[in-house]
Amino acid sequence: MSLQLGNQGLQTRDRFDWPLFICAALIAVVGIVNLYSATSVYGASRGELYLNQVYWLVAGGILAIMVASLDYRYFEQAGYVIYAVGVLLLIIVLILGKDIRGSARWINIGSFGFQPSEFMKLALTIALAKYLHNDPKSEARTLRDLVIPTLLTLLPVVLVQQQPDLGTSIILGLIFGSIVGLTRVHWKTAVFSLTTVSTIAVLMWNFGLKEYQRGRITAFMNPEADIRGVGWHAHHARIAVGNGGLTGQGYMKGTQNQYLFLPDQYTDFPFPVFAEDWGFLGCLALLGLYVFLILWSVRIAAQARDRFGAVVAVGVGAMLFWHTIFNLGMVLGLLPVVGVTLPLFSYGGSSVITILIGLGLLMNVSLRRFSGTTLQGPRRLL
């Protein structure tokens, strides 16, 4: 018995995904260092926020270990239950959520505010993975085959948009699009889907968006029109990035941050603080870590032993990718400001814990890629 346990321990150590762990840990550590710089200007009132971030990273790390320890087939079996819990929490938010800055996105439990829309990203990924895993279809999927996945996605998107939270709604839709985009879809279905998405976008613009959300989009298209208003965030973020130059102004010396020109510099806009402190070379190193993490997710998906593991890895990788793209895009003025965090870098308990649980799922799929045999025939990965 002891020999068997020893062999299992050696197998776990040998199969442990060290590149995934080290890359995520580096991003988190750099994020803590950057958060200290971003909040130092506030003194005692907000100067200890980085300590809260450490606590959330520890809590999220423990949850990630727990998620990685369970065989992911348990998540496949409970996929729709996990999804239902996520939807129920979104409904509870609409009823009991506390309004903060015009949005009701949080459920308060004592002093801790939990944002269910963050958890819904993983719940949707697991539900879509379960559906595709149970679907024996190997030929190109038609519109009829995508009805259920589309409905699974539309329900949380509509609920999240009622909060309102445009950024999370977009991320949920893009996770769905990324997963479906890696399956075989009939060309007529693809054309119809693109037409439908375009129509929905027009309807959302006219009837679904709040005035301030439309203002952010118009400010993106004409950033100089209202610099003192809705264009303030993006304008000073670009100035901060430019101020960094090649090597930066020095740690905790960025003028845009120190003189309080950067709003939300520890939640939605931590990257300009980092860029101003460390410059182009520092940004290049940080972006390299994100690129590696996302490509590694794709690698894990390609090596997964079954379709469920592959889709989960794709979904988590898509979440990391789109969060990074949107956060950096709005910082650099390439995309409108929609309030999307930078993974493991932005301050926030729900976001950090969700990302770490997602990384736990990735580790789970990676650890078990050699267990059993890869499914062949009609149940191929995607």
pLDDT (0 to 100) of residue 312: 95
pLDDT (0 to 100) of residue 379: 41
Instruction: Quote the tokens at residue 239.
Output: 């100035």
pLDDT band at 8 (very low <50, low <70, confident <90, very high): very low
Contact 68, 360 (CB under 8 A): yes
Query: Which position has the token pair 């997602």?
Result: 358
Q: Are strands 98-100 and 112-114 parallel, antiparallel or unpaired?
A: unpaired
Q: How far apart are CA 111 and CA 266, in angstroms?
A: 20
Q: What is the DSSP letter of 226?
A: T
Residue 139 has pLDDT above 80, yes or no: no
Q: What percent of the chain has pLDDT over 90?
A: 44
Mean pLDDT of 300-320: 94
What are the tens digits of pLDDT across the range 63-118?
Answer: 999 999 998 989 999 999 999 999 999 999 888 766 666 566 777 776 667 889 99
pLDDT (0 to 100) of residue 162: 86
What are the tens digits of pLDDT across the range 204-261?
Answer: 656 666 666 666 666 656 666 656 666 677 778 888 888 889 998 989 888 888 887 8
Q: Where are the domains of the chain?
A: 18-186+212-370
pLDDT (0 to 100) of residue 375: 39
Mean pLDDT for the chain overall? 82
Q: Who has greater pLDDT, 212 or 154?
A: 154
- Which phi and psi (to 5°) does residue 114 adopt? -105, 130
Give me the DSSP letters along 161-221. Answer: HTTT-HHHHHHHHHHHHHHHHTS-B-HHHHHHHHHHHHHHHHHIIIIIS-HHHHHHHHHHH
What are the tens digits of pLDDT across the range 165-197?
Answer: 888 999 999 999 999 887 766 666 667 667 766
Show the DSSP H helices in 40-165 as ranges: 49-69, 73-77, 79-96, 116-134, 147-161
Residue 138 has pLDDT above 70, yes or no: no
pLDDT (0 to 100) of residue 356: 97
Spell out the residues 6+ positions from residue 314 whose beta carbon is closer than 8 angstroms to its own: 178, 179, 182, 297, 298, 301, 382
Residue 328 has pLDDT above 90, yes or no: yes
pLDDT (0 to 100) of residue 211: 66
How many Cβ atoms sit within 10 Å of the Cβ of residue 158?
12
User: In degrees, to the nearest 5, what angle opens at C-alpha 256 toward C-alphas 251 and 261?
Assistant: 140
Contact 180, 152 (CB under 8 A): no
pLDDT band at 164 (very low <50, low <70, confident <90, very high): confident
